[in-house]
Amino acid sequence: LCFHSSFAFGVATASFQIEGAWNVSGKGESIWDRYTHEHPERVFDHKNADVADGSYYKVKEDVQLLSQLGVNFYRFSISWPRILPDGLSNNVNEDGIRYYKELIEELRKNKITPVATMYHWDLPQSLQELGGWTNPIIADYFVDYARVLLDNFGDTVKVWLTFNEPLTFCENGYGGDDAPGGRSSGFEDYMCGHNVLRAHGMVYRMFDQKYRKITKGVMGITNVFPWIEPATTSREDQKAADAARQFMFGWYANPIFSQQGDYPQVMRKAVDANSKRQGFPRSRLPYFTAEEVEMIRGSFDFMGLNHYTTYLAAPGSGKISTKPSYQDDINAIITQKDEWPKSNSTWLRVVPWGFRRCLNWIKNAYNNPKILITENGVSFEAGLHDTKRVNYIDAYLRALHAAIYKDGCHVLGYTYWSLMDNFEWMRGYSERFGLYQVDYESQNLTRTPRLSAKYFSNVAKTGCLPDDY
């Protein structure tokens, strides 16, 4: 079973999860530095990412890992506070520029295409003091940051992603327990999403007008879409599943990728109605101006897609409490089937067919956009003989193959998350997603290829899935 020769294979990481060196050579503090230091008790085993995988010191070594895998591209993220210690562009940290230039150069020497994400959750703490993503002004500061990146790396990086998973960092960060620990569900999460969408649109328009010609690059955004299957075939369950898809994926996809733009109608209606019932004089979900709808609509060259797992949906009770909540607004009961194989992450079960449905849903909803799978992966316990990971990748790649060659979905490439084990946010180092195992007990943070590295390397080099492995 082979993919077309132009189909690309890569692996991904993110700055905060691998770099370490949290306060050296002029780097500023990020919200995740602050949060893990101030609230160690909230992170599994009280861990933080002060050292992480030490990738800041291992440019050559890490690129060698990539080269051994034989991947076409490497998706990494750039740390905003490493580039702009105070978040603002009047003070550029030259060492930050040096570090990413070195990485990009090393990748190019090894014929690996750099794919850069501008924001994978490590906001400068100084901007959080202003309200972070809930303050509309942040969109302007994100544009300033993006300009610094495009001015410095635009000639060598041709594939850009503005954001990684706004759903996750807005929902978990401002509506839940991730950094910065907003815990203001149904309110600050919507403000965050609103400003992220504005910021994305503004950066895309700047890119389109000022940089595209010079850099000859492309730009997209990465959203996460777990497949949501109706719990039964009943009409109610189908309706609940559709609403849940719109609240999770449509929230960030509809304004950018749909023909009409703006938030999905089910979301607009539900949040407006619930806000009213709760006695608010205005909707908790902000409104875009007509100009903003136009600016954001169509702001993509391709769609970045992260997909890991599948859930079931059934209708919720319809009751809402006086305290706003995103969960109440969705009004669905989200579960997983016991029989679906487990991983080492509570939320992640192995359901390959969900991947194919997800891609088909996008094809139908958004006129078959070009998609780059920017993350897909699974966590298992430590160990080098990870047959379960090999089975996961193989099964998900088969589902992807069917989506492309049987269903006609327009997918350009596939990224495995992750190149190596790393700091898994609130789960510390307890959940391992790596093709390479990282030995956190060793001085060198030694990387060792797992069986899955061998498997994936064979796929990346041949473009084919082995019949037998």
Q: Report, as residue numbers or ranges, the catalytic residues.
A: 375
Give me the least distance between CB of 168 and ligand BGC, in Å please: 5
Nearer to ligand BGC, 297 or 349 (CB): 349
Nearest to 342 by CA among 350, 354, 353: 350
Within 293-312, which residues bind ligand BGC (CB under 6 A)? Answer: 306
Nearer to ligand BGC, 9 or 423 (CB): 423
Within 226-265, which residues bind ligand BGC (CB under 6 A)? Answer: none
Give me the least distance between CB of 418 and ligand BGC, in Å please: 7
Within 153-212, which residues bind ligand BGC (CB under 6 A)? Answer: 164-165, 168
Give me the least distance between CB of 165 and ligand BGC, in Å please: 5
Give me the least distance between CB of 383 and ligand BGC, in Å please: 18
Nearer to ligand BGC, 76 or 417 (CB): 417
Q: Please select the residue that binds ligand BGC; options are 178, 229, 375, 421, rule is CB under 6 A.
A: 375
Nearer to ligand BGC, 224 or 399 (CB): 224
Nearer to ligand BGC, 153 or 433 (CB): 433
Give me the least distance between CB of 417 and ligand BGC, in Å please: 6
Q: Please select the residue that binds ligand BGC; options are 84, 103, 150, 224, rule is CB under 6 A.
A: 224
Nearer to ligand BGC, 68 or 168 (CB): 168
Within 408-437, which residues bind ligand BGC (CB under 6 A)? Answer: 417, 424, 433
Give me the least distance between CB of 239 and ligand BGC, in Å please: 27
Largest CA distance in the chain: 62
Contact criterion met (CB below 8 Å) for 76 and 12: yes
Within 334-353, which residues bind ligand BGC (CB under 6 A)? Answer: none
Within 67-126, which residues bind ligand BGC (CB under 6 A)? Answer: none
Which residues lie near ligand BGC (CB under 6 A)?
14, 164-165, 168, 224, 306, 375, 417, 424, 433
